[in-house]
């Protein structure tokens, strides 16, 4: 049974590693859903698409996170396989069935715990508070900067609580007067194209802006 216990520990640690990596990627400006998929893909070594991989490898912090996940994922997978082989190799058929039943029940319990929204939220907030202490995760949340001219660019900004632009409308902020054009607001699964002065920027929104990079940096 010691081998089964080690498997549960490895799986639990693996879940925690993927969760930490997911939060770390979101703190670099990635969408949470994309960050979760990329973290799980890198850890398991599967499903890493070329298009989304480019978003990761072009960013130095994300690249380090994914590289760490790949190393830890390979080590964790090898440990689980070795533990399973050693566990089921010992004992007869009845013991094998018993171990399989315990393994299945344990995995089901761990899955239920991992899917618990309240617990996941508390764990995520704790990880965020720890990671936010590091300079790499306190920079402006820009997913990509596309330089279209020498001093101008197209920028994606994640609106966070406490930012000067949060909870204010585009008109109140006078962004057009500052030379900033808000081209789109992404609010969860909803997209607001070419928003007007009456549209308010809420925490959690992702906005696509065009303007002078120096001014764009000041609003973040």
**CA 157, CA 152: separation in Å to the nearest integer?**
15
In this structure, are strands 168-169 and 206-212 parallel, antiparallel, or unpaired?
unpaired
**CA 157, CA 210: separation in Å to the nearest integer?**
11
Contact indicator for 167, 193 with CB cutoff of 8 Å: no
What residue segments make up the domains of the chain, in order of their start?
2-136, 142-218
Sequence-distant (≥ 6) Cβ neighbours of residue 53 within 8 angstroms: none
CATH class of the domain whose range is 142-218: alpha beta
pLDDT in tens, the chain (220 residues): 565 666 677 777 778 888 888 888 887 777 777 888 888 888 877 765 556 666 676 677 778 888 888 877 766 665 666 666 656 556 666 666 666 676 677 767 776 776 777 777 887 788 877 777 766 565 544 444 554 455 677 788 889 888 889 999 999 998 888 888 999 999 888 889 989 999 999 999 989 888 877 787 777 6
Q: Rounded to two decimals, what is the model's pTM?
A: 0.50
């Amino acid at each position: 049974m010691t081998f089964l216990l080690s498997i549960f520990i490895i799986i639990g640690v693996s879940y925690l590693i993927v969760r930490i990596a997911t939060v770390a990627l979101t703190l670099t400006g990635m969408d949470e859903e994309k960050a979760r998929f990329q973290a799980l893909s890198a850890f398991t070594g599967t499903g890493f698409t070329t298009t989304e991989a480019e978003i990761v490898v072009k960013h130095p912090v994300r690249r380090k996170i994914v590289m760490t996940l790949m190393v830890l994922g390979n080590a964790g997978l090898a440990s689980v396989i070795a533990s399973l082989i050693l566990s089921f190799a010992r004992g007869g058929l009845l013991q094998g069935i018993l171990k399989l039943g315990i393994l299945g029940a344990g995995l089901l319990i761990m899955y239920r715990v991992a899917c618990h929204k309240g617990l996941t939220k508390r764990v995520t907030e704790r990880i965020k508070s720890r990671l936010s202490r590091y300079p790499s995760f306190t920079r402006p949340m820009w997913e990509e900067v596309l330089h279209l001219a020498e001093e101008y660019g197209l920028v994606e900004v994640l609106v966070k609580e406490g930012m000067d632009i949060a909870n204010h409308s585009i008109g109140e902020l006078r962004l057009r007067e500052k030379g900033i054009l808000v081209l789109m607001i992404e609010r969860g699964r909803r997209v607001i194209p070419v928003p007007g002065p009456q549209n308010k920027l809420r925490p959690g929104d992702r906005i696509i802006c065009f303007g002078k990079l120096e001014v764009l940096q000041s609003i973040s």
